[in-house]
Amino acid sequence: MTGRDLPAAPATVPTLDDVLGVLAGRRLAVLTGAGISTDSGIPDYRGPDSPPRNPMTYQQFVGDERFRRHYWARNHVGWRHMRRTEPNAGHRALARLEAGGVVVGVITQNVDLLHEAAGSRRVIDLHGHYNEVVCLSCGRVIPRARMHERLTALNPGFLESVTEVADVEIAPDADAVIESTEGFRVAACEACGGMLKPHIVYFGENVPKPRVAAAYDLVDEGDALLVAGSSLAVMSGLRFVRHATKTGKPVVIVNRGATRGDELATVKLEAGTSETLSALAEALA
């Protein structure tokens, strides 16, 4: 057998030590996705065990009253579940790393506010968050709790008619998978009568430019970029990985399953975020 015929050596599987070798001594910008919140009981969109999902687009929401009614009925159920979720070990680890001066801040693609609940101080909610509602006509913003009161008044008995939330499948954007939404009444803006929408960025909608600029600044401030629990399937997150790479910063991705940024990563660790981020907090903080 010639050297040319020898089998190739097996590729080395990255470990936590490889991650530490890249991140130790560096200040970290962090980008998180739905995978960091699965241990809090919020399913992700594209994880290995996730069912197929078709999130509602902005065009569907604003262009079709039936889509709007269907969304608000499902959200009316799902919002109660989101309010009860608690941050997990991964969220708390990032808050500890920030308090210790290792993490400069978190950019999150999630709308669940769990980073703030865990104690992170500098958080850019890239896609907004589930706890506010905005009028598309006059721009008025109201608390989601006020919308809940109005929807409950407009639809007496609806929540009671739906299976208990514990038995309803919840989606990452505070949606709930329920079948019948016929007859559900949707609230309009109390100030102008305009269309109300959750204050989150829908598929097909652009992230506000000032928010994007602030996120780029945060990436620039760090010495490395740590991605936790994101498949980077949409450009709103992938662009920060590309930016970090172009500016010569190492990128570490911790995620179960492939991501669109794997080829750009200095290290890709196939692992859960809760245990990995907890171990990083112990080693780096």
Q: Is domain 14-42+87-127+207-284 annotated with CATH 3.30.70.360?
A: no
Torsion of CA 274, 276, 279, 284, to 10 degrees: -110
- With cut-offs at 50, 70 and 90, classify the pLDDT of residue 56: confident
Q: What is the residue type of 72?
A: W
208 annotated among ligand-binding-site residues: no
- Is a pLDDT exceeding 50 seen at residue 102? yes
What string of DSSP letters covers 97-127?
HHHTTSEEEEEE---S-HHHHHT-SSEEETT
Would you say residue 164 has pLDDT above 80? no
Break the chain into its structural domains and give their ranges. Answer: 14-42+87-127+207-284, 51-84+130-200
Q: Cα(227)–Cα(277) distance, rounded to whole angstroms?
A: 11
List the structure tokens of 62. 């604003």
Amino acid 84: pLDDT: 86
Q: What are phi and psi of 160, to 5 degrees?
A: -70, -25
Residue 167, pLDDT score: 44
- Contact indicator for 103, 30 with CB cutoff of 8 Å: yes
Q: Which CATH number fits domain 51-84+130-200: 3.30.1600, 3.10.450, 3.30.70, 1.25.40?
A: 3.30.1600
Report whether 38 belongs to an annotated binding site. Answer: yes
Q: Does residue 17 carry a pLDDT above 90?
A: yes
272 is in an annotated binding site: no
pLDDT at 5: 55
Residue 230 among known ligand-binding residues: yes
- List, by residue number, the catalytic residues: 127
Average pLDDT, the chain: 88
Mean pLDDT, rounded, for 256-271? 97
What does the pLDDT read at residue 242?
98
| CA-CA-CA-CA dihedral for 205, 184, 54, 78, to nearest 10 | 90
Q: What is the model's pTM?
A: 0.87
Bridge partners of 254, per DSSP, are: 228, 269
